[in-house]
Amino acid sequence: MEKAAPTWTFLTNHAQVLVCIAKDPEIRLREIAERVGITERAVHRIVVELADAGYLTRRRNGRRNQYTIKSDLPIHDPVVEDRSQNVGKLLQIVGGPDFEGQLSAEGSRG
């Protein structure tokens, strides 16, 4: 008998949104919402929170936004005691080997 896939995820919505932006700095909020499985309004709130906290910046590029992630900032999580662990390292782990090369070459994605 095969077990059903869990209904929960290991990454928070904030982390999932950040991963989507890191993979495509010009991604639309609608596309993020579809990939993460939350509403556009929730994605917008998360993007604003990440920007307010300094984890990303937004710049208007025509009719779209272009995002830049500040990959050197520490991970904001009470469980992560080692402040040398930063957002870039998290994105490298989640994004895989190809993504790791992009981050280390650019310092930040976007």
In a domain, 83, yes or no: yes
Domain range enclosing 24: 13-104
Lowest mean pLDDT among 2-6, 24-28, 79-83, 85-89: 79-83
Q: Domain tally for the chain?
A: 1
CA–CA distance, 16 with 82 (Å, rounded to integer): 21
Dihedral sign (CA 85, 95, 110, 26): negative
Q: What is the pLDDT of residues 42-97, one digit of tens each?
A: 999 999 999 999 999 999 989 899 999 998 998 888 887 777 788 888 888 887 76
Burial class (CB in 10 A: 0-12, 13-18, 19+), 56: buried
**CATH code: domain of residue 27:** 1.10.10.10
| Secondary structure of residue 21 in the 3-state scheme | helix
Asked if 94 and 15 count as a contact pair (C-beta separation under 8 A), the reply is yes
Asked if 108 and 88 count as a contact pair (C-beta separation under 8 A), the reply is yes
pLDDT value for 37: 95
In a domain, 8, yes or no: no
pLDDT value for 94: 86
pLDDT value for 30: 98
Dihedral sign (CA 9, 49, 65, 40): positive
pLDDT value for 77: 83
Higher pLDDT, 39 or 106: 39
Residue recorded with tokens 């929960």: 8
Does pLDDT of 6 surpass 90? no
pLDDT value for 100: 54
Non-local CB neighbours of 53 within 8 Å, separated by 6+ positions:
76
Instruction: For residue 99, name the pLDDT band (cuts at 50, 70, 90).
Output: low
In a domain, 4, yes or no: no
In a domain, 29, yes or no: yes
